[in-house]
Amino acid sequence: MAAQSGFVSSSASIHGVTWRRSSHSTAANNCVETAALTAGLLAVRDSKDVTGPALLFPAASWAHFVHAVRRDDLGPA
């Protein structure tokens, strides 16, 4: 079964993972953090609200999004 996108209402409910932040992050915490989960999912949360909600994406979908951002290939907002 393929991994499905979703969310959890509190990222504090996700245990046993390592949250990672970009090395480009500033002291202002204007970042997102990611954590690899089981079943091929990736959790994404706001670094300013570490117990707040987390979005869940299939890892391949998140990688595709990150590559599109790096290529400036998302189109106009």
Residue 55, burial from CB neighbour count under 10 angstroms (0-12, 13-18, 19+): middle
Whole-number pLDDT of residue 70: 87
Q: What's the pLDDT tens digit per position in 18-50?
A: 999 877 776 776 788 999 998 899 999 998 899
Q: Is residue 14, in this structure, part of any structural domain at all?
A: yes
Assign 69 to helix, strand or coil.
helix
Examine residue 28 and state whether it is found in any structural domain, yes or no.
yes
List the structure tokens of 28.
């202002």
Q: What's the total number of domains in the chain?
A: 1
Domain range for residue 44?
6-70
Assigned domain for 11 exists: yes
Q: Which residue has the tokens 């599109």?
A: 68
